[in-house]
Structure 1
Amino acid sequence: MSKSSYYYRPSGGKGGAKPSASTQMVWGDGQVTVSNESVLERIRELLKGDFVDYGTKRPAPNCNWTAT
Structure 2
Amino acid sequence: MSVGERSPLRSDRRPIEIEEDDTYLPPRNAVHPSEQGKWTRIFYLTLLWLFIILVVSLTVWGIKYYS
Which TM bucket (shorter chain)?
Answer: under 0.3
**TM-score normalised to structure 1 length:** 0.25
Q: Higher strand fraction: Structure 1 or Structure 2? A: 1
Tell which structure's C-alpha radius of gyration is larger.
2
Higher relative contact order (CA 8 A, sep 6+): 1
Q: Higher helix fraction: Structure 1 or Structure 2? A: 2
